Every structure is written in C-alpha cells, then in structure tokens.
Structure 1
Amino acid sequence: MNAVSKVYGKGKSAVAALREVSVTLPKGGFTAVMGPSGSGKSTFLHCAAGLDKPTAGTVRLGGTDLSGMNETKLTELRRERVGFVFQAFNLVPSLTVEQNVTLPLRLARGRTDRALTDRAWLNETLERVGLGGRTTHRPAELSGGQQQRVAIARALITKPEVVFGDEPTGALDTMTARDVLTLLRETVDTLGQTVVMVTHDPVAASYADTVLFLADGRIVDSLSAPTATAVAERMTRLGAYV
C-alpha cells in the first residue's frame, strides 16, 4: 500500500477516511490493525483487500497492482488469492460444513474440478480447524465458535496469499475467541499464512506479530511483539491523541 488516500463524498461533505497511508504487510506474518472509532480501520482493510478502491495511491497484492483492475478482475482476485473472516460468520444456512468451506472453490472459474477433488487438502483444512467430524452438519447445528471455524476453513481452502479478518472474534465469548485467535496464530506459524486482522480488542491484537495503530486516517504508531497491556496503553494514548 503506497500513499493511499480514501475520500467519501465531495465538496464540504467530503470525509477523508485514509490519508496517504504507506505500509508493507509482511508475507507470512500476523498483523493487527487498531485505532479509535472512525480512525479508518475498516477502510484500510477494504482498500488492502480490493473490496474498495482508493481515491489516490496504489495497492499491490504480491506483484499485482489492484488500482487499474475492474470489478470483474477484482472479484476473481478476491476469490482465488484472498481469504476473508468477518464478525458475522456469513455461512449459507442450507449448506453443510463441507459445502460452505468449498463454496469459494465452486465459485472460482476453472478451478472447480481440480480443487474439489483435492480431498487431502480439504480434509487437512477441516481437521486443522477442529471440524473433521462435523462435515455434514449445518450452521444451525453448530456453536458460534464452530461457525467461525467454518469461516476460517473457507478462507483457507483456496490457499490464499493473505487472509483478512474484520473483528473475527467480535461476536464470540472470551474463551471461544481465544480458541479462534489461537487457530489464526497456528495458520501463520504452521502454514506460513499471512493474516491481517482489524480488531478493537487488545487481547486479540496480542496474538499478532505487529500491531499498526491508526488515528484520523493515518498510521501513527506500531508495536512489535505486542502484549495486551502494551496495546491497551498505546490505545489509551491514541484516545488522548485524537
């Protein structure tokens, strides 16, 4: 991401959500993004993931410049090279666990036959998230934590270059959230997965390698090897800053 700005609206009603943000997110790392309400966290994630186009600046995924891509190309890129985990699990109620997990493969043109016959990877992914024995269950038969595990498996099934999480533990209780965060941490440590997570929770951020702090649309601070206490202290200072 290089000199990315995002402005919503025009004239006097224009609001700058991001202001010339430049950052490189490390491959195979776990990055958390934090900031006060209205700091630009969601806009940062949406621009980085190709869900929204910046007003100025460039966003690259690997060697691909997203800036000049039309919506069709961006959709294809998101399906094949990016995984998403949201606060709302966004599962299809009528589909089984296995069908929900493999849905991105069914939607990705030209990959269906090959990918869906790769049972070894599907089984490994389901076992990794602790759902090996629940492949035929539907979302209504699962707990909230299990549903989020399905969402994580769905994000991993395409072997994406990066997984973006938008408050992935926001709807979960403390113990379940810890299990989900541990799972995300393990995907980085054992699979070399790249994870970028927006969160408001200092404990969640402490699972990351690095925390970026946004305020007023700019990256104003960062913290390596974070602890929950250190993150909370930085957030307190940001509150005073804003």
Structure 2
Amino acid sequence: MRNILQEARFGGGATGVPGPADVVRLTAVRKVYGGAGNGVVALDEVSVGLRKGTFTAIMGPSGSGKSTLLQCAAGLDRPTSGSVVLDGVELTSLGERERTRLRRRRIGFVFQAFNLLPALTVHDNVALPLRLAGRRPERGAVEEVLERVGLGGRLRSRPGELSGGQQQRVAIARALITRPAVLFGDEPTGALDTGTAREVLRLLREAVEEAGQTVVMVTHDPVAAAHADRALFLADGRLAGELVRPTIERVAAQMTRLGAGGAGQ
C-alpha cells in the first residue's frame, strides 16, 4: 500500500514537469553570471516542480548548478530569466526587501556551517528568525521544537557548549520554528561524522513524515540522498535525471555516469 501511495504522490514520471501540487515551481529558469562576452551559464532553462510534503535531494558534479538552483528556488538569487513560484508567490517579481520578508516568514535554511550566534543561548538562537520577522514566539513553541530535535534540556546552553551534531540540530530547530513552506538545506551533513549525519537526516525525514514539512537538500552524498523521496540530478546547468525512492546504489551509479560525462544518457 505504501508503494502505491508513493507512486500517486510522485506521479508524473521522471520529466520534472511542474504541477499544481508544487510548493516550489521553476519554469525555464536560466542563470548567467558575468557579462555578455564572458558569461557563465549556471542554469540552462531548468523547469522542475517540488511537491508539498516531500523530501527532495539535488545532486550533481561540482559546477553542475545545484547550489545555484537552490539559491534561485529560495529567493537568495534572482534568475537571469524564467519564473520561480514559492508557496504561490512569484519570486522574480519581488524586490529585494519583499524577498527578504518572504524568506524570513516562509523559508527555513540549514547550511553546512551551523551559523549560530555564539553570544545567544540555544533558546534565543532558535527564536531569532521570528524576532527578525517582527513576531514573538508563541508560548512554548521554542521548547516544543527543541524537544522534537532532542535538545529540550539545553535551552540555556551556548553553541560553544554543544557538539557539532547538537549545533546542527539547533539549526534545524531554528529553521522549523517559523513553520516554513519549505526548508532548504545546503550540504547540511557535510561537516558531520557518519553517525551524527544519520541523526540529522533522520530528523529531516521525520519533519516530512510527521509534520508534513517540505525539505529540499543539496548534497553530494549518496547516503544522504537515500533518505529523500526523490533525487534530482544536474549536469552543466541542466536536469540530467531523476530517481524516485532513491537508494544508495542507484544514486552512486547515476553520479558515476554523470561524472564520466553520461549526462545525456
């Protein structure tokens, strides 16, 4: 039964065609860095939809455009052309101030570097996105999200008193506190050992399955990608394949093909 439900959930095959259930939708997105004479094409007419309540891994060789895709999808960078719609809002039509406001209210971020403020307690680090958005945390909200990531007893600790894995769990709690439409992760397990990385991936998986969160994660690691519902592959700025319910072996094989120049296969 679970497989049947998953097929319905991810129906549409490997085309990457955006659909009405997408919380993020990129249409013909092109991103060029530099001028007309020396421009570098980072994304080349990419169209893809990311479904609400799913976990998507974005993969590809170095320089394939995966981080640029995340930055455009999250409103951190503006495409040269094309359309990006997040939670029903066309990002490319917004000014910088409006995009900043939307990011604070509707998007969560988890990066390889934890980006915690060392002078603040764990509690205050988690509450910071709400305060930046001009909102006060609901009573018990910070405590609740820290309980979810297993740090309910470390409210008054400082980041320097925590392990790397604990700091990343604080970063996940901080990303979830605003109840974002999408949580974007850029190599969130890249600085962690294998066991700690597995714990962080389990938390992201639980956020999808238990809270209906949408997670989009850039990673180079087939083990991390195997926790996702779907893996998208980029090569030379273009979509180069897709796996639904990826396994470590299938992801590694696809990455090997792309690394060997098999993006067109």
- Asked if 1:49 is matched to 2:69, the reply is no
Matches within 5 A, 1:1-242: 1-109=26-134, 111-112=135-136, 116=137, 118-241=138-261
Is the 2:123–2:143 Cα contact (8 Å) retained in structure 1?
no
**Consecutive unaligned residues in structure 2, runs of 5 or more:** 1-25
DSSP-derived class of the 1:22 partner: strand
Output the CA distance in 1 between the equivalents of 2:51 and 2:260.
29
**Consecutive unaligned residues in structure 1, runs of 5 or more:** none
Output the CA distance in 2 between the equivalents of 1:67 and 1:42.
18
- Residue type at the aligned position of 1:218: R
Q: Which has the higher contact order (CA 8 A, sep 6+)?
A: 1
TM-score, scaled to structure 2:
0.88
Output the CA distance in 2 between the equivalents of 1:196 and 1:154.
16
Output the CA distance in 2 between the equivalents of 1:108 and 1:62.
18
Is the 2:64–2:234 Cα contact (8 Å) retained in structure 1?
yes
DSSP-derived class of the 1:222 partner: strand
Output the CA distance in 2 between the equivalents of 1:100 and 1:121.
13
What's the counterpart of residue 14 of structure 2? none
Identity %: 67
| CA-atom RMSD in angstroms | 0.8
Runs of 4+ with >3 A deviation: none
Q: Deviations over 1:10-56 (max 9, x none)?
A: 12310000000000001000000000000001100000000000000
Is the 2:143–2:155 Cα contact (8 Å) retained in structure 1?
no
Output the CA distance in 2 between the equivalents of 1:239 and 1:165.
23
